[in-house]
Structure 1
Amino acid sequence: MRARNIPVPEASLAGIAAGVALEQVRRWRLKSRPRAGWALVAAGSLVIASSLKAAGNTDLAKPEGLVTSGPYAVSRNPMYVGWGLLQLGIGLITGSGWMLATLPAVGAGLRLDVVREERRLEQHFGDEYERYAAKVGRYVPTR
């Protein structure tokens, strides 16, 4: 069972690509932190994989029901969190200042995507989504 129409956040991919491209144009090296970086890459990958597992056969672009189990029980947007962890980890592993510097712009872009997506879910699922949103944090647990 696999989730269909898996949302790959363009802002995350653009941020990673921009970090790599900018590094080619003008190197900006920081002290690398490979141990911490690999831990973040592993955590991000685990969050994304467990999100996909929890989604099962759900068409994530047009869900017929809310996914509220697994990582969705603690974050309404675990895949976005996972992608952010991946980019941060890559920046720490490589010591790329550009990879880390693009994170705020990526975060702003992801937030726009998340707000738009949450509005769509609220319109589609109404009170069910409002109850879910009241008890589960947007990105991290609220309690």
Structure 2
Amino acid sequence: MATNNAPAAPPPVVLAGAAAVQLAMTRHCTPSTRSRVFAGFIAAGSAALAGWAVLTLRRNDTTITPEHPESARHLVTEGPFARTRNPIYLALAGLLVAHAVYRRSMAALLPAAGFVAVIDRAQVAREERALAKRFGARYRRYQAAVPRWLGVVGR
């Protein structure tokens, strides 16, 4: 069981687990030309979002490693972080959605939803506590203004 200071599993492990479940679920599903193209657009957009977020964190000289959110040197609120507080996790979820679309499997969306739920409840909540402690009122204002994922502000 995770403590407040340590995640149950690092985000790359959660992602790999969700991807493995998707692969097992869809091993008999064949992509179509249309699903390949649509999935390609989703994957490219997701990869671009992740790259933009990583570059923004590096440009702001702060950590990109999720294991130690308390080591963040700066609160980053620009670039993709002006639209969502978790653009990298959103991008990773997008890659899982792209795979479900590629395989033409609605059921394969379940591991993507599971990834979001685990990351939201374990990792994101932990990061938010660390950032609130480190940056105080400034982080709380950011939290109130920018959605955790998309569309829902304040949580």
TM-score where L is the length of structure 1 = 0.81
Aligned mates of 1:67, 1:118 — CA distance in 2? 13
1:44 aligns with 2:46: yes
Is 1:106 aligned to residue 96 of structure 2? no
Matching of residues 127-138 of structure 1 within 5 Å = 127-138=137-148
The 1:67–1:131 alpha-carbon spacing in structure 2 relative to 1, beyond 3 Å, is same
How far off its partner does 1:99 sit?
3.1
Structure 2: any 5+ residue segments left out of the alignment?
1-9
User: Following TM superposition, by how much is the alpha carbon of 1:141 offset from its aligned partner in structure 2, in angstroms?
Assistant: 4.6
**Contact residue 15 and residue 99 of structure 1 kept, 8 A:** no
How many residue pairs end up in the alignment?
134
Q: Secondary structure at the match of 1:126?
A: helix
Structure 2: distance between partners of 1:59 and 1:120: 13
Deviation string for 1:77-115 (max 9, x for gaps)?
Answer: 000100011110012113345532312211211112111
Equivalent position of 1:63 in the other structure: 72
- Counterpart in the other structure of 1:20: 23
Distance 2:145 2:107 in 1: 36
The gaps in structure 1 that reach 5 residues or longer are 1-6
Q: Deviations over 1:55-75 (max 9, x none)?
A: 013123311111111101111
Comparing 115-124 with 8-17, greater Cα deviation is found at 8-17
Q: Percent identity?
A: 26
In 2, the alpha carbon distance for the partners of 1:78 and 1:91 equals 20
Letter matched to residue 62 of structure 2: T
Provide the rounded CA distance (Å) in 1 between the counterparts of 2:139 and 2:26.
42
Q: Which residue of 1 aligns with 2:13?
A: 10
